[in-house]
Amino acid sequence: MDHIIIVAGGKGTRMGGDLPKQFLPIGGRPVLMHTIKKFHDYNPKLHIIVVLPHDQQAFWRQLCNEQGFTIEHDIADGGASRFESSRNGLALVPDDEEGVVGFHDGVRPFVSAETIDRCFEAAREDYAALPVMPVTDTLRFTGGSSAGRNVPRSDYRIVQTPQVFDIALAKQAFRQPYRDAFTDDASVVESLGCQVRMVEGNRENIKLTTPFDLQLADFIIKQR
């Protein structure tokens, strides 16, 4: 069986506001519902695990009732770091199961079916995969200096989610203790010495991080 862990356990500090960003409405529905639907539409048999802070779970269930949102999913508790949230979600995947497990930011509602498919298929072939996009601006390394210098942008990629792994590999990786360098799930797997295959992401697959991203999200929704 395949699984997707949708992490929405963060604080949303950069977004600000009283309502956690995963619940903010775009096109009349909370962000998180759009994200869950993307994976369900891709594969209705996918086991969906949503990670939310414990004290937001009752509110989420209430939102689902109010909106008539019936896509089945399990819920795990959010943790103090993204690593911990991912690990809590992974605990709901049986240890001895074969298949792949993906990790996706709850606040990336515009992931395309093609990106999801590329990631899941590449992970099935090569154990680990993540979606990337080329850098479109000139890139400057500052390293603390006020002048800095340009670096070749073709050497870099922007990393998105879902990041998908063989289940046994993900289980082994998340048994490691937390390190600050674990900014995404691929970095956890790579620290075992494994390579993660890069596949093409999609431009609209933005992470809703700041209020400006929310304006972009409204724009994207209205184009559909």
Ligand X SMILES: C[C@](O)(CO)[C@H](O)COP(=O)(O)O
Ligand Y SMILES: Nc1ccn([C@@H]2O[C@H](COP(=O)(O)OP(=O)(O)OP(=O)(O)O)[C@@H](O)[C@H]2O)c(=O)n1
CB of 158 to ligand X, least distance (A): 7
Rounded Cα distance between 105 and 222, Å, is 22
Helix (H) or strand (E) holding 49: strand 47-52
Tokens 């400057």 correspond to: 140
And the tokens for 209? Answer: 């991080």
Q: Which does residue 159 bind out of ligand Y, ligand X, none, counting CB within 5 to 8 angstroms by kind?
A: ligand X
Q: Please provide the size of the chain in residues.
A: 224
Shortest separation between residue 184's beta carbon and ligand X, angstroms: 4
Cβ neighbours of residue 55 under 8 Å, at least 6 residues apart?
A: none
The reply to whether 88 sits near ligand X by the rule CB under 6 A is no
Q: Which is nearer to ligand X, 11 or 61 (CB)?
A: 11
Task: Look at residue 103 and give its three-state secondary structure.
Answer: strand
Task: Indicate whether 13 belongs to the interface with ligand Y (CB under 6 A).
Answer: yes
- Using DSSP's 3-state secondary structure scheme, residue 40 falls into helix
Told to check if 207 binds ligand X by CB under 6 A, we report yes
Let me know: does 112 contact 199? Beta carbons within 8 Å: no
Q: Which is nearer to ligand X, 64 or 209 (CB)?
A: 209
CA distance 20 to 43: 27
| Among ligand X, ligand Y, none, partner that 115 touches (CB below 5 to 8 angstroms by kind) | none
Question: Using the rule CB under 6 A, which residue among 62, 65, 67, 183 binds ligand X?
Answer: 183
51 binds ligand Y (CB under 6 A): yes
CA 219 – CA 82 distance, rounded (Å): 28
Q: Which stretch binds ligand Y (CB under 6 A): 23-31, 65-73, 105-113, 141-149?
A: 105-113
84 is a site residue for ligand X (CB under 6 A)? no
CB within 8 Å of 177: residues ≥ 6 apart: none
| Rounded least distance, CB 66 to ligand X, Å | 28
Among 33, 38, 46, 78, binds ligand Y (CB under 6 A): 78
- Contact predicate 83/188, CB 8 Å: yes
Which residue number, 12 or 199, has a Cβ lying nearer to ligand Y? 12
209 residue type, one letter: T
Where does this chain touch ligand X (CB under 6 A) — which range of 15-23, 50-58, 154-162, 216-224? Answer: 154-162
The tokens for 224 are 């559909």
Contacts with ligand X by CB under 6 A lie at 82, 105, 159-161, 183-184, 207
Contacts with ligand Y by CB under 6 A lie at 7-14, 51, 78-82, 85, 105-107, 207, 209
